[in-house]
């Protein structure tokens, strides 16, 4: 599901976001320093405040999600993984945010099909194409923590032949 190219792309996105944050901030701070030297108090205050607000805004809304996704891809490729096999139950319709990354939550039953005690929660990357799993198909999930790093259909109904090969 993930390749080294995904990690390189995520790292490049973090660098672009850093540039987006720093270039205007440097200009704001440069203007604040200039206005301080020529003694324009209101401009110094305004430009300093703009620089601070810009850094906080970009960091919270752009940098954190990109850094979180970069870390997620790195862990998916390199962290200790766990194999889990079970029956697919359902996927939630709306994505949720975990560790600054958007995921779709889904449930896998690892025991008897009707025993809710054996249901396991996993998170599937919202930026990847959603698989066409059918309820009841048997999946092999390779994960770190509860986050899917790769998957494979073991048996049962699946929507398309391509989706059976996607994550493996």
Helix ranges restricted to H, the chain: 4-37, 41-58, 64-78, 161-166
Same domain as 89, residue 55? no
What's the chain's length in residues? 168
Statement: the pTM of the whole predicted model exceeds 0.85: no
Same domain as 162, residue 103? yes
Same domain as 8, residue 40? yes
Please state, in angstroms and rounded to a whole number, the distance separating the CA atoms of residues 73 and 128. Answer: 12
Which range marks the domain in which residue 109 is found? 82-166
Average pLDDT over residues 139-153: 94
Same domain as 68, residue 89? no
Percentage of the chain lying above the pLDDT 70 cut: 92
- Note the pLDDT of residue 117: 79
Q: Which two tokens stand for residue 64?
A: 């954190």
Residue 163 pLDDT > 80, yes or no? no
Same domain as 72, residue 51? yes
Average pLDDT over residues 54-60: 94
Eight-state DSSP code of residue 116: G
* Structural contact between residues 83 and 141, judged by C-beta atoms closer than 8 angstroms: yes
How many domains is the chain built from? Answer: 2
Same domain as 161, residue 86? yes
CATH code of residue 97: 2.40.50
Domain boundary (25, 47, 78) is at: 78
The per-residue pLDDT for range 69-121, each reduced to its tens digit, is: 999 999 999 999 999 999 999 999 999 999 889 999 999 999 876 777 788 99
Same domain as 88, residue 160? yes
Same domain as 91, residue 52? no
Report the Cα 24 to chain-centroid distance in Å: 26
């Amino acid at each position: 599901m993930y390749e080294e190219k995904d990690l390189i792309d995520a790292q490049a996105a973090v660098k672009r976001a850093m540039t987006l944050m720093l270039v205007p901030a440097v200009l704001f701070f440069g203007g604040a320093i200039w206005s301080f030297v020529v003694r324009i108090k209101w401009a110094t205050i305004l430009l300093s405040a703009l620089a601070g607000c810009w850094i906080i805004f970009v960091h919270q809304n752009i940098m954190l999600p990109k850094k979180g996704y970069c870390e997620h891809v790195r862990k998916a490729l390199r962290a200790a993984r766990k194999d889990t096999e079970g029956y697919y139950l359902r996927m939630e319709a709306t994505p949720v945010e975990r560790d600054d990354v958007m995921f779709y939550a889904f449930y896998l039953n690892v025991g008897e099909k009707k025993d809710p005690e054996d249901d396991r929660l996993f998170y599937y990357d919202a930026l990847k194409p959603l698989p066409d799993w059918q309820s009841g198909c048997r999946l092999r999930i390779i994960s770190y923590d509860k986050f899917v790093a790769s998957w494979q259909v073991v048996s049962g109904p699946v929507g398309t032949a391509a989706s059976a090969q996607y994550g493996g």
